[in-house]
Amino acid sequence: DSGVTQTPKHLITATGQRVTLRCSPRSGDLSVYWYQQSLDQGLQFLIQYYNGEERAKGNILERFSAQQFPDLHSELNLSSLELGDSALYFCASSVNPGRSSGNTIYFGEGSWLTVV
Amino acid sequence: DQQVKQNSPSLSVQEGRISILNCDYTNSMFDYFLWYKKYPAEGPTFLISISSIKDKNEDGRFTVFLNKSAKHLSLHIVPSQPGDSAVYFCAASRGDALNFGKGTSLLVTP
Query: Residue B42 has what pLDDT?
Result: 86
Given a contact cutoff of 8 angstroms between Cβ atoms, the answer to whether A70 and A58 are in contact is no
Rounded to the nearest 5 degrees, what angle is found at the Cα of B63, between the Cα atoms of B4 and A29?
65
Query: Residue A103 has what pLDDT?
Result: 67
| A39: alpha, beta or left? (left if phi > 0; alpha if psi -120 to 50) | alpha
Whether B57 shows a pLDDT value over 70: the answer reads yes
For A10-42, how does the pLDDT look when each residue is reduced to its tens digit (9 = 90+)?
999 999 999 999 999 999 899 999 999 987 677
Share of chain A above pLDDT 90, in %: 74
Query: How many whole angstroms separate alpha carbon A39 and alpha carbon A64?
Result: 19
Q: Among A1, A7, A38, A43, pick the best mutation site for testing chain B contact (most B Cβ within 10 A).
A: A43
Q: Which residues of A35-58 are buried (b: 16+ CB within 10 A; e: fewer)?
A: bbbeeeebbbbbbbbbeeeebbeb
Given a contact cutoff of 8 angstroms between Cβ atoms, the answer to whether A4 and A108 are in contact is yes
Interface of A with B in 16-55 (CB under 8 A): 33, 35, 40-45, 48, 55
Query: How many whole angstroms separate alpha carbon A23 and alpha carbon B17?
Result: 39
Average pLDDT over residues B41-66: 94
Query: How many whole angstroms separate alpha carbon B66 and alpha carbon B49?
Result: 10
**Hey, are the CB atoms on A58 and B43 less than 8 Å from each other?**
no
Kindly report the backbone phi and psi dihedral angles of residue B82, in degrees, each rounded to the nearest multiple of 5, phi listed first.
Answer: -55, -35
Residue of chain B nearest A5, judged by CA positions: B43
For A70-79, how does the pLDDT look when each residue is reduced to its tens digit (9 = 90+)?
999 999 999 9
Residues of chain A neighbouring B6 (CB-CB closer than 8 A): 42
Q: What is the DSSP string of B14-75?
A: ETTS-EEEEEEE--TT--EEEEEEE-TTS--EEEEEEETT-SEEEETTEEEEEETTTTEEEE
Q: How many beta carbons lie within 10 A of that of residue A86, not counting itself?
A: 16
**Hey, are the CB atoms on B32 and A102 less than 8 Å from each other?**
yes
More confident residue, A63 or B99: A63
Helix (H, G, I), strand (E, B) or coil at A55: strand
- When CB atoms are compared, the residue of B6, B34, B99 closest to A45 is B99
Residue of chain A nearest B47, judged by CA positions: A104
* Alpha-carbon distances of B85 from A44, B11, B34, B55, rounded to whole Å: 23, 10, 18, 26
Mean of pLDDT over chain A: 91
Query: Residue A43 has what pLDDT?
Result: 87
Residue A70 forms contact with B (CB below 8 Å): no
Residues of chain B neighbouring A55 (CB-CB closer than 8 A): 96
Whether A97 shows a pLDDT value over 90: the answer reads no
For B3-45, how does the pLDDT look when each residue is reduced to its tens digit (9 = 90+)?
999 999 999 999 999 999 999 999 999 989 999 999 988 899 9
